[in-house]
Amino acid sequence: MIKHHPFYIFILCFFITAQSAWAGGDAASGKQKVESCHACHGSDGNSLIPSNPKLAGQGERYLLKQLKNVQTGEREIAMMVGQLDHFNDQDLADIAAFYAAQTQTQSFSEERWVNLGREIYRNGNQDRGIPSCTGCHGPSGTGNAPAGFPMLAGQHAEYLALQLRHFSIGNRHNDGEGKVMRDIAERMNDNEIQAVASYIAGLRP
């Protein structure tokens, strides 16, 4: 049974991500391999489409895991089907290194969601067993790159909310055997999802 305490969540996340294989990439080589990614993610990893994630500045280890999960089908994204089929592990590592080396552009929070979003992000909702987000993603949303915890700060609010909804109904399930994100997201109502996504978007990495 999962105990919803930030420190427990942090340790569980660390255990899950520690199982992922890690290989260093070359950002210069990666730059030559991302041309087909520009339309959706921008030339420097800063997507202009709110439903598509910004990849710029994201942790290299986390990016590599997601790329591998998409390639194998463990993470299902309709628009990405087949896009990574011709890349080997080193190619994916190089792509991850390139995006990790880029500088993320800023996003913003909608004022109407700030108070609720801040409360959920920092304190969770203990009545419903929702932990704070800070245990894995840090007080400022910077994550933990060496451990593979993603940076959330500055990400598009629309994308963040979409991923929480996918986790909540099990459409996204690459959060490990502990089901950490699925377990949390399924306890959140839509207002909480929208608020915390908007609040996170306005954080500065």
pLDDT band of 5, cuts 50, 70, 90 = low
Whether 189 is in a domain gets the answer yes
Domain co-membership, 96 together with 110: no
Is there a domain that residue 148 lies in?
yes
Domain hosting 83: range is: 24-100
CA distance 142 to 151: 4
Q: What would the mean pLDDT of 80-88 be, rounded to a whole number?
A: 97
Last residue of some domain: 42, 67, 100?
100
Assigned domain for 62 exists:
yes
Question: Where among 54, 73, 100 does a domain terminate?
Answer: 100
Q: Are residues 125 and 194 in the same domain?
A: yes
Q: Specify the CATH number for the domain of residue 91.
A: 1.10.760.10
**pLDDT digits over 59-74, tens only?**
999 999 999 999 999 9
Chain segment 141-169, per-residue pLDDT in tens:
999 988 889 999 999 999 999 999 999 99
Is residue 11 included in any domain, yes or no?
Answer: no
Measured CA to CA, the distance from residue 132 to residue 152 in angstroms comes to 14
Structure token pair of residue 189: 């109502």
122 CB burial (10 A radius; 0-12, 13-18, 19+): middle
- Convert the pLDDT of each residue in 93-136 to its tens digit: 999 999 999 999 999 999 999 999 999 999 999 999 999 999 99
Confidence of residue 202 (pLDDT cuts 50, 70, 90): very high
What are the pLDDT digits (tens) for 162-188? 999 999 999 999 999 999 999 999 999
Predicted pLDDT of residue 146: 87
* Domain assignment present for 176: yes
Same structural domain for residues 114 and 182? yes
Global pTM value: 0.88
Of 84, 100, 116, the domain-final residue: 100
Q: What mean pLDDT value characterizes the chain?
A: 91
The first and second tokens of residue 149, run together, are: 């915890």
